[in-house]
Amino acid sequence: MNQEFRRAPRRAVDAPVQVVDCMTGEVMGRLGNVSETGMLLFSRGAGVEEGLFQVRFGLRLSGAQEHLFHVGVQQLWSEAHPASGNHWTGYRFIDIAPEDLELLREYVTSGSARRR
């Protein structure tokens, strides 16, 4: 039996969603999954350990409308993928508008949300 210890359910992001650093305008990577507390990013580099960023990304909400989220994040960890050389990087949300948090909760619970 597989037991999961994460506090918040996550939803895998099926379509490519770019995450952009608001300060530089550069794409940091592609969103892998998201929860109300953080996100997994696929990127070419390891990022900055404990780095703080202001990022934006768009998600298709119910009714096929896209919402642009602006959130403050802190990098928690990064791990290189052995075959591709790309990185999986975990971020926690440290600043998100209450309205965006509610929309994110709805997004996570409306689809194929799962603990992962």
DSSP label at residue 22: T
- Residue 114, pLDDT > 70, answer no
pLDDT of residue 47: 85
Residues in the chain: 116
pLDDT of residue 83: 83
Instruction: Give 25-79 pLDDT, tens digit per residue.
Output: 999 999 999 999 999 999 998 888 899 999 999 999 887 789 999 999 999 999 9
Highest-confidence range of 57-66, 85-94, 107-116, by mean pLDDT? 85-94
The answer to whether 55 touches 19, Cβ cutoff 8 Å, is yes
The answer to whether 80 touches 87, Cβ cutoff 8 Å, is yes
For residues 11-20, average pLDDT: 93
